[in-house]
Amino acid sequence: MGVNPFSPTPIPAFRGDSARTTCRWCLNYCGMVITRDGGALRIRGDPSHPLSRGFLCAKGLSSLDLALSPKRILHPLKRVGERGEGRWREVSWSDAISDIASRLREIIDRHGPDAVAVESLPPKDYLIWEAFAKAIGTTTFFKHDAHQCFTPQMIVDYATFGALVSYPNMTVEDAERVRTLVIWGMNPTATNPSKGVAFERALRNGAKLVVVDPRPIPFARRADVWLRVRPGSDAALAMGIANYLLTSGLYDREFVERWTEGLDGLRRMVGKYTLDRVADITWTRPEDVRRAAELMAGNRPTAIFTFIGLVMNGNGFRTLRALDVLIALLGDVDVRGGNAIKLPPKTVRRGFEGENIFRLSREDLSRQISAQRYPLLAGPDAITPYPHPWDVLKAIEEGRVRALLTDSNPVAALEDGRRTMEALKKLDLLVTLELFMTPTAEISDYVLPLTTFLETDEVTMYTGLNFVSARSRVIEPVGEARGQVEILLDILRAMGLQDRLPFRDRAGYLDFILQESGLKFEDLKTMGYLVRPYEERKYERGLLRPDGRPGFPTPSGKVRLWIPELDGDDLHIEPPYSPYSTPELLKDYPFVACTGVRYLESYNGLGLNVDKLRRMHPDPLVEISPGAARSLGLHDGSWACISAPGSGSRIRMKVKVVDGLDDRVACIEGIWYLPEASSQEDRLWGANANAITRRLTNDPILGTSSVRALLVRIEACDVRGGS
């Protein structure tokens, strides 16, 4: 995919004849080169990029179409009608900044700094939002996916290993060494495409493949073993594999005896998970579970990677713990071809990676929302720390939080979306920094136009990888769009708080990030990439612990196989709604549904506003098996209406019949809204899975969401949604 298959794009104000930068459509941040070709610009992958090595997916190749989309917001907008009414007035930047700053000062003076909530999500520039929150003194800095995306994965890895281990970080060098690759609850083709290319390379080099997923994702169809797990039962499967490794003596005895603790407690916990019992719970076959376990243990090094699939089943903390236990039992920790621990270069890092330089004091964090309820997630002892988004919304509903500044789209992305929207409407001030008029932007007081990554200088930080790169501004900003750094610093300046940060402008901010490396941002732009050499088995040489002693950065220095105060006596807990926890609902809601399914073109919602990508993937999809389609009188391309217990809503999606799906399982695409729909009801809720999800969890540790393990009803409906 090195050449753009789309038609050339007319030149905007291009800076030079050739430029190298990094993509920001997703968390892969692939390298790209943009060149002038006569009267047009062309995009290709950067072959020198340490991860992507010249690869670019369809999103990256359409980056100019994103930047030049006629649907972009290009001027500051102020609401003049009722919230959601769609009446706006263009205002100057100076008027917008002045009014926002004045209203923030008033809220802080009357209600305290915690009454101002600040929210951001990668892949946008995240660190500047942490700095902004520190400057205004609020502890209500949160991510609306803190309970259902990467944050729980990071927290669990830190609790188990003291470092990030299970996050996919395979590069070409690792692909040369891995012998068994396990893809568990992630779909690299759609969500981690450049890492998927590394996985492809591993398979070409002869690696074996185990896939654990209810969907027949492309990698599942090529797997040596595909475990078609029931949504919500992954912890039982992992414990069954762990039990088989232990009872068969297939685990890495030397690593476990020297570098782990809690083996006896683990044996007691997993002992009841025989292969037959696991197969019954998970809807797999005992012989397949056995084959997978023997392949993982007998063909090493083995790398096990997951992403958000295991978080969003209502029992996320303990499910991820079960997977970490497997990684530890196999012993391929911090080695090439296994689950490597890759340390970044010496730069300022983002708080969701556990290294928040803008962290508030213990005294301040003791009052943080969620600190008492979820102390691993929020409060003075949390790694992150973030309030749980449900608790923030409750605080908004109760009037304890009065303002929100965000660069995200929680209305579309959070469970029980209608309730989320009604909560946000109660705010005294809602400011959204965005590219397009999203559902959250629609109900805002101000919508401030952001630059795309092609219009912005940034330091690109890679989670779980050992390098950073320069993202270079290659075209001049379109319209009046501004970068997040400029906008937030202008607000602080108008509030009289600019002296609370160690930088005053973007150039100072970028140099601040790199200060420990001894580089300036202009140096990084010349270099392209700053790489920290990877060293294997750092735990043997004291390179992981702050005290320099051998071991892992956990309290004991050892990997924790059993944590009694967190694990209890069983890591498997049924979802709130399931065939086993609520069998009485099966008659009316017979499908186990996994919501939040991603497709490449619409992965994070941006593609919905880019015509070329929307033509590639025009409609929201629900995947069902051929058998389920026949029983419902549906076929590929039919329209179906979907509802869930207790939601009071239903959504309409196009049917995709998928060979290999279990007849009892449905997979529902996530984060869809319909920008082209004329009515707000259809636009926001007609195809949004979060119109039927609820705030449900069985996770007492982190309150992870159950949206990938629901019960639903599917019915035929016409194009207008009538049954």
Residue 4: the pLDDT is: 37
Give a yes or no: residue 610 inside a domain. Answer: yes
What is the C-alpha separation between 296 and 303, in angstroms, rounded?
9
| pLDDT higher than 90, residue 12 | no
For 202, phi then psi, to 5°, come to: -60, -40
Residues 299 and 433 in one domain: no
| pLDDT higher than 60, residue 8 | no
Yes or no: say if 622 and 688 are a contact pair by the CB < 8 Å rule. Answer: no
Kind of pairing between the strands at 116-119 and 88-90: unpaired
CA–centroid distance for 383 within its chain = 17
Strand segments (E) across 40-108: 40-45, 77-79, 88-90
* H/E stretch holding 105: helix 93-111
Residues 212 and 265 in one domain: yes
Residues 191 and 268 in one domain: yes
Structure confidence by residue, pLDDT tens digits, 304-321:
999 888 999 999 999 999
Give 290's pLDDT tier (boundaries 50, 70, 90): very high
The one-letter amino acid code at 466 reads N
Residues 377 and 420 in one domain: yes
- State the DSSP code for 14: B
Residue 530: the pLDDT is: 97
Residues 61 and 133 in one domain: no
What is the C-alpha separation between 483 and 159, in angstroms, rounded?
36
Q: Which of these, 171, 216, 164, lies nearest to 189 by C-alpha position?
A: 216
Residue 435: the pLDDT is: 97
Residues 399 and 524 in one domain: yes
Exposure on the CB side of residue 130, measured as CA atoms within 13 A: 25
3-state DSSP of 480-514: CCECHHHHHHHHHHHHCCHHHCCCCCHHHHHHHHH
Structure confidence by residue, pLDDT tens digits, 615-667:
999 999 999 999 999 999 999 999 999 999 999 999 999 999 999 999 999 99
Structure confidence by residue, pLDDT tens digits, 217-236:
999 999 999 999 999 999 99
What is the C-alpha separation between 128 and 133, in angstroms, rounded?
9
Give a yes or no: residue 4 inside a domain. Answer: no
**Length of the chain in residues, anyone?**
723
Residue 390: the pLDDT is: 98
SS3 367: coil
Residue 721: the pLDDT is: 54
Percentage of the chain exceeding pLDDT 70: 97
Give 18's pLDDT tier (boundaries 50, 70, 90): confident
Residues 358 and 446 in one domain: yes
The mean predicted confidence, pLDDT, of the chain is 94
The CATH number for 640's domain is 2.40.40.20
Q: Which domain does 52 fall in, by range?
A: 9-67
Give a yes or no: residue 594 inside a domain. Answer: yes
Give a yes or no: residue 376 inside a domain. Answer: yes
What is the C-alpha separation between 198 and 188, in angstroms, rounded?
10
Give a yes or no: residue 541 inside a domain. Answer: no
Give a yes or no: residue 544 inside a domain. Answer: no
Residues 117 and 193 in one domain: no
Residues 277 and 413 in one domain: no
- Region of poorest pLDDT, from 1-5, 79-83, 522-526, 696-700: 1-5
Structure confidence by residue, pLDDT tens digits, 76-111:
999 999 998 999 999 999 999 999 999 999 999 999
Structure confidence by residue, pLDDT tens digits, 370-422:
999 999 999 999 988 999 999 999 999 999 999 999 999 999 999 999 999 99
Give a yes or no: residue 722 inside a domain. Answer: no
Strand order, beta sheet including 467-471: 458-461, 467-471, 529-531
Q: Which has more confidence, 275 or 85?
A: 275
What is the C-alpha separation between 293 and 433, in angstroms, rounded?
47
Give 3's pLDDT tier (boundaries 50, 70, 90): very low
Token pair belonging to 275? 């292969």
Structure confidence by residue, pLDDT tens digits, 475-491:
999 999 999 999 999 99
For 184, phi then psi, to 5°, come to: -120, 105
Residues 387 and 519 in one domain: yes
Residue 369: the pLDDT is: 98
Yes or no: say if 591 and 711 are a contact pair by the CB < 8 Å rule. Answer: yes
What is the C-alpha separation between 367 and 269, in angstroms, rounded?
36
**Region 5-13 average pLDDT:** 48
Chosen domain end from 510, 541, 567: 567
Total domains present in the chain: 4
Return the bridge partners of 560, or none: 261
Residue 605: the pLDDT is: 86
The CATH number for 240's domain is 3.40.228.10
Residue 718: the pLDDT is: 77
Residues 35 and 84 in one domain: no
The CATH number for 14's domain is 2.20.25
The one-letter amino acid code at 716 reads A
The CATH number for 101's domain is 3.40.50.740
Give a yes or no: residue 393 inside a domain. Answer: yes
Chosen domain end from 18, 41, 67: 67
Give 2's pLDDT tier (boundaries 50, 70, 90): very low
| pLDDT higher than 50, residue 9 | no
What is the C-alpha separation between 634 and 657, in angstroms, rounded?
9
The one-letter amino acid code at 358 reads F
Q: Which of these, 320, 495, 308, lies nearest to 405 by C-alpha position?
A: 495
Residue 37: the pLDDT is: 81
What is the C-alpha separation between 112 and 106, in angstroms, rounded?
9
Residue 354: the pLDDT is: 78
SS3 130: helix
| pLDDT higher than 50, residue 296 | yes
Structure confidence by residue, pLDDT tens digits, 325-368:
999 999 999 999 999 999 999 999 988 887 789 999 999 999 99
Supply the angle between the helices 484-495 and 127-136 in degrees, to the nearest 10: 10
| pLDDT higher than 90, residue 5 | no
Residue 344: the pLDDT is: 95
Give 604's pLDDT tier (boundaries 50, 70, 90): confident
- Region of poorest pLDDT, from 120-124, 162-166, 180-184, 713-717: 120-124
Give the Cβ contact number of residue 133 at 10 Å.
25
Residue 355: the pLDDT is: 79
- Region of poorest pLDDT, from 14-28, 181-195, 498-512, 612-626: 14-28
Token pair belonging to 171? 């590069």
Give 722's pLDDT tier (boundaries 50, 70, 90): low
Residues 157 and 282 in one domain: yes
